């Protein structure tokens, strides 16, 4: 993935952290605990986790995001880290992760890492894209790219709850809750909402094309998805979430 645009992310897609607040309810409120925020982005939820933990560390693979997080929350420790090679061992009571796991192709390796960094009885609270997440947008984008001579290879990992539950068990987790649900997500900025979203999240695909082609592709995707995602005043993305609470 190319580097994240941390400004576009915070200005237009702050709903990512906003919705993540629901997941905070599943984190025990115990000042003596240590929490890892895995894929912390610009640190919005990390700063909330800091209200109920002694130690919170936010990690993200994007240097842009970590730089912005560190500027905003100077008292919290943030690190650039690859989720598949975390430099910790049996160190955290809780691993928290919002809207990140779908970026990681190998969920088996990921859960192995999460298990490694948790203390015994440690908790995983995570939420990310479930099977069928953004299917309308992604299918339209793939078809339009193909018509323009570009091959879009789906890059997200949106598992079913059954598949993810199997991986959790295989990696030594006991499942407290696992369920998926539709979470239609209104996009900011009126008629520009879907274009902003595509520019942020398909940035690495778009950067292979001229600006003219990018604009044409975005316009065609809008045409194709209008009927289901546009209500005359705003775009709503067809998000589906998988929520998991599990412990070791």
Where on the chain is the footprint of ligand BEZ (CB under 6 A)? 99, 102, 129, 133-134, 156, 201, 239
CB of 156 to ligand BEZ, least distance (A): 5
CB of 236 to ligand BEZ, least distance (A): 13
What is the dihedral angle through the alpha carbons of 197, 198, 202, 208, rounded to the nearest 10 degrees?
A: -140
Q: Which is nearer to ligand BEZ, 115 or 243 (CB)?
A: 243
Q: Which is nearer to ligand BEZ, 35 or 187 (CB)?
A: 187
Q: Which is nearer to ligand BEZ, 5 or 91 (CB)?
A: 5
> Terminal CA-to-CA distance of the chain, rounded, Å?
31
Q: Which is nearer to ligand BEZ, 96 or 201 (CB)?
A: 201
CB of 129 to ligand BEZ, least distance (A): 4
CB of 137 to ligand BEZ, least distance (A): 8
Q: Which of 60, 46, 143, 148 is nearest to 94 (CA)?
A: 46
SS3 192: helix
Helix (H) or strand (E) holding 11: helix 6-12
Contact between 221 and 213 under an 8 Å Cβ cutoff? The reply is no
Contacts of 113 (CB under 8 A, 6+ apart): 83, 84, 85, 86
Which residue has the CB atom at the shortest distance from ligand BEZ?
129
d(CA 58, CA 79): 6
CB of 98 to ligand BEZ, least distance (A): 9
Q: Which is nearer to ligand BEZ, 78 or 239 (CB)?
A: 239
CB of 90 to ligand BEZ, least distance (A): 30
Residue 76 per-residue DSSP state: S
CA 125 to centroid of chain Cα atoms:
13
Q: Which is nearer to ligand BEZ, 154 or 172 (CB)?
A: 154
């Amino acid at each position: 993935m190319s580097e994240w645009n941390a400004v576009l992310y915070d200005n237009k897609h702050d709903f990512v952290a906003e919705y993540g607040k629901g997941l905070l309810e599943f984190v025990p409120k115990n000042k003596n605990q240590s929490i890892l925020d895995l894929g912390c982005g610009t640190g919005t939820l990390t700063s909330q986790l800091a209200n109920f933990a002694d130690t919170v560390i936010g990690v993200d693979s994007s240097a842009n995001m970590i730089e912005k997080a560190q500027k905003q929350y100077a008292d919290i420790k943030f690190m650039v880290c690859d989720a598949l090679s975390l430099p910790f061992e049996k160190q955290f009571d809780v691993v928290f992760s919002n809207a990140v796991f779908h970026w990681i192709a190998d969920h088996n390796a990921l859960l192995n890492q999460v298990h490694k960094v948790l203390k015994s009885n440690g908790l995983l609270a995570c939420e990310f894209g479930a099977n069928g997440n953004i299917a309308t947008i992604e299918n339209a984008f793939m078809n339009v790219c193909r018509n323009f001579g570009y091959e879009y290879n789906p890059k997200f990992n949106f598992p079913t709850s059954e598949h993810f539950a199997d991986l959790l068990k295989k990696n030594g987790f006991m499942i407290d809750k696992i369920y998926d649900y539709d979470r239609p997500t209104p996009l900011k900025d009126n008629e520009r909402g879907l274009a902003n979203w595509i520019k942020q999240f398909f940035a690495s695909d778009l950067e292979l094309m001229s600006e003219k082609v990018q604009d044409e592709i975005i316009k065609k995707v809008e045409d194709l998805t209008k009927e289901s995602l546009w209500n005359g005043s705003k775009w709503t993305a067809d998000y589906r979430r998988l929520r998991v609470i599990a412990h070791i």
